[in-house]
Amino acid sequence: VSFDGSGSSDPDGSIVSYAWEFGDGTTGTGVSPTHTYVSSGTYSVKLTVTDNQSATHSVTQTVNVAATPPVGWVSPVGHTGSGERWRNPERTYDYDAGNSHRSGSRHDGISDDQWTDELILHAPSGGIQSDRIRLLVSDSIPSQNLLAWVIDVHRDGDWVNVYTGTRGGFPEHTRFDGVTFPWAEVGFAEGFVTRVRIRAYIGEGLRGTFVNVYEVMLRDATVPTP
């Protein structure tokens, strides 16, 4: 936020100093300082001017600070950005024993044979066209059977499926050491917050601990598609 005290004047002298209190416990000096607020909110900003005769005068004004939504994906653990990867917490499954444990991101309507993660994209109007996303999987023991993964998109309406696929199918007892699924294209409407639900379906005999990593590439609408 930029502040300007140049409109201050002294009819019988000159102003020699400007002292600012930004309302969040920090201070500054100078005629036109700038200040970065860590959190959005309403702040009372106070300016005190001192003239060449040591006389002072203060004025207070309210400033409303609103956070600017980030452009890019926000993962379940809070990372943002384009062209990056993030790793979700490990999941441990024992499907044969009829129980499982899931940790990390938000889970909606999960049955015993799938996990669901939800990613969020803040998209201000203009500048962004679409994203590409894919899933990387690795596990601790060779006893997995991952059947398919599904991507659904929600833009202030119903969930819409945008991708369903497998990586050629997996035989039982396949060890997932860095298995990478194909890229899936996810477009969105400008000016909306887009939620993407990723569901991975697993087969019987699942047992062990594994991690899933999401990789995202942002496509700028101003850059021609190769």
Q: Is 140 exposed, middle or buried (0-12, 13-18, 19+ CB in 10 A)?
A: middle
In tens, the pLDDT along 63-96 reads: 888 755 444 444 444 434 445 555 555 555 554 4
Q: Alpha carbon 102 to chain centroid distance?
A: 21
Q: Are 127 and 138 in contact (CB under 8 A)?
A: no
Instruction: Compare 153 and 2 and report the one with higher pLDDT.
Output: 2
Instruction: Compare 176 and 46 and report the one with higher pLDDT.
Output: 46
Fold that domain 15-65 belongs to in CATH: Immunoglobulin-like (2.60.40)
Q: Is 133 left (phi over 0), alpha (psi -120 to 50) or beta?
A: beta
Say if residue 51's pLDDT is above 70. yes
CATH 2.60.120, domain 72-220, yes or no: yes
- Three-state DSSP at 85 gives strand
Say if residue 49's pLDDT is above 80. yes
pTM here is 0.43
The letter for the amino acid at 45 is: V
The letter for the amino acid at 15 is: I
pLDDT, position 77: 40
Give the whole-angstrom CA distance, residue 149 versus residue 191. Answer: 28
**Cβ within 8 Å of residue 13, ≥6 positions away:** 51, 52, 53, 55
pLDDT, position 111: 38
Q: What are the sequence ranges of the domains in the chain?
A: 15-65, 72-220
In tens, the pLDDT along 100-158 reads: 333 333 333 333 456 666 666 655 544 445 556 666 655 544 444 555 667 777 766 67
Q: Is 81 left (phi over 0), alpha (psi -120 to 50) or beta?
A: left
Percent of the chain with pLDDT over 90: 17
pLDDT, position 207: 55
